[in-house]
């Protein structure tokens, strides 16, 4: 006899019958051991000693994320079974009616990753095992080389190659542009001036020099950081094509993606895009139409590990690789989630690396080990990274607008330049 909807226990309001473990407490922890505010969500349970950690870092609006977690998500989480990861994600995601955006998604990400962390600990397995097991023994990573001129950048790349890195992102100072993204001393005079014409002339010369000096034994990357007009992005992608970049990152801003088919049609330079996206759905047209080669996703900004895992699977079906965003404004917990995705995804392209300082390593014990240009994962259950709250308290968060400083870039005539 077919059960009627009224007889179906799964239609009852949660918590549903099932595991005895329940969520008893949810907290946000802010710390800045490297001078950048990191937001971590800690989900505690009725099982003594069982808790999970998740990255909810949105440096520029950290306090808004804290409010979203504590005022809106916590009341919906208490008493829930932490094993119901998917249902918790779905219910929290729709609870605000107007869905998405980096603040709400970062808050949701912190909870989502923490529940995956708990699930792994309950199973006695690392999260990458829960995703299907590893596709590789370690995760290849790229690091960042910068300099005031091409020769200085080349020296930096050589140093990284000697350490075992096979992929290096390269940025160089642009004459007259104190707002040069990624270059040494950018904006230190407080005037963050950007000169697109000088940039367009400088970058191709940088990569011509690097290939002449370094040959083809190292993969080179470059980040435009959405700082060009669309037609200039097309020009740059064509200009660097002879130098065989591994990828050109974010040549177009999210607002200019209508230009992407034109960019794709005019150059064979591989394109990585999506750092500023805040919804999985933003990627779908790009994946479906094969307009990019790599998705550059800030995992917490799209809602956590659950949607990122689905996105990785969709990309695999269309021959597109992943390159998750991994700078210093992703906490070590967030990096551990990236690595779980990297290990379990056959279509990993490359992973961005942050080398943490000693203070961060003390606050977050269990960070993955770097050796030979790869991150080597932990076999510890869950995400494998913990948080020492006493040490975290020694590094209070920065003032609310401190994370905005580098975004205040203008053209020479005073016009605001999107960062």
Same domain as 134, residue 93: no
Same domain as 200, residue 106: no
Which of 74, 99, 124 finishes a domain? 124
Residue 14's pLDDT band (cuts 50, 70, 90): low
Average pLDDT over residues 18-29: 92
Count of domains observed in the chain: 2
pLDDT digits (tens, 9 = 90+) for 179-230: 677 676 655 555 688 899 999 999 999 999 999 999 999 999 999 999 999 9
Same domain as 282, residue 259: yes
Nearest partner of 184 among 134, 143, 146, judged by Cα: 146
The whole-number pLDDT of residue 185 equals 61
Q: Does residue 395 lie in a domain region?
A: no
**Structure tokens that stand for 348 in this block:** 């990993």
Sheet holding 409-411, edge to edge: 193-194, 409-411, 416-417
Active site residues: 181, 225
Lowest mean pLDDT among 72-76, 107-111, 283-287, 408-412: 408-412
Q: What CATH number does residue 231 fall under?
A: 3.20.20.120
Q: What CATH number does residue 24 fall under?
A: 3.30.390.10
Preceding peptide of 15 cis, ω within 30°: yes
Cα–Cα distance between 220 and 231 in angstroms, integer? 23
Average pLDDT over residues 19-43: 96
Measure Cα distances from 387 to 55, 220, 333, 390 in Å. Answer: 11, 34, 9, 9
Domain that holds residue 41: 5-124
The whole-number pLDDT of residue 255 equals 94
The full 3-state SS of 330-353, as one line of letters, equals CCHHHHHHHHHHHHHCCCECCEEC
Quick check: pTM over 0.85? yes
């Amino acid at each position: 006899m077919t059960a009627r909807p009224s007889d179906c226990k799964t239609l009852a309001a949660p918590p549903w019958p099932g595991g005895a473990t329940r969520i008893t407490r949810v907290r946000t922890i802010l710390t800045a051991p490297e001078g950048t505010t990191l937001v971590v969500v800690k989900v505690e349970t009725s099982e003594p000693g069982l808790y999970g950690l998740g990255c909810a870092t949105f440096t520029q609006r950290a306090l808004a994320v804290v409010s979203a977690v504590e005022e809106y998500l916590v009341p919906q989480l208490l008493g829930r079974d932490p094993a119901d990861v998917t249902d918790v994600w779905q219910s929290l995601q729709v609870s605000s009616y107007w869905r998405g955006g980096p603040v709400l998604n970062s808050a949701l990400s912190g909870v989502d990753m923490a529940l995956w962390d708990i699930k792994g600990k309950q199973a006695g397995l690392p999260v990458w095992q829960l995703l299907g097991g590893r596709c590789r023994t370690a995760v290849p990573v790229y690091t960042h080389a910068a300099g005031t001129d091409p020769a200085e950048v080349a020296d930096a790349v050589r140093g990284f190659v000697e350490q075992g890195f096979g992929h290096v992102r390269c940025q160089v100072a642009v004459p007259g542009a104190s707002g040069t993204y990624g270059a040494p001393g950018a904006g230190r005079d407080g005037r963050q001036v950007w000169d697109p014409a000088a940039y367009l002339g400088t970058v191709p010369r940088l990569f011509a020099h690097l290939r002449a000096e370094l040959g083809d034994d190292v993969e080179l990357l470059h980040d435009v950081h959405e700082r060009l007009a669309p037609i200039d992005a097309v020009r740059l992608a064509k200009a660097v094509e002879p130098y065989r970049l591994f990828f050109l990152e974010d040549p177009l801003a999210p607002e200019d993606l209508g230009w992407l088919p034109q960019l794709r049609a005019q150059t064979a330079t591989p394109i990585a895009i999506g750092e500023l996206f805040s919804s999985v759905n933003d990627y779908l047209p790009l994946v479906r139409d094969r307009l990019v080669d790599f998705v550059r996703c800030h995992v917490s900004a799209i809602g956590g590990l659950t949607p990122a895992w689905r996105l990785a699977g969709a990309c695999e079906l269309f021959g597109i690789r992943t390159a998750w965003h991994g700078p210093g404004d992703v906490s070590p917990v967030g990096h551990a989630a990236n690595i779980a995705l990297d290990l379990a995804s056959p279509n990993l392209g490359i992973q961005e690396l942050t080398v943490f300082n000693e203070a961060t390593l003390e606050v977050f014990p269990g960070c993955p080990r770097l050796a030979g240009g790869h991150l080597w994962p932990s076999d510890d259950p869950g995400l494998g990274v913990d948080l020492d709250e006493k040490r975290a308290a020694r590094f209070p968060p920065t003032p609310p607008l401190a994370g905005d400083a580098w975004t205040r870039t203008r053209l020479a005539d005073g016009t605001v330049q999107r960062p």
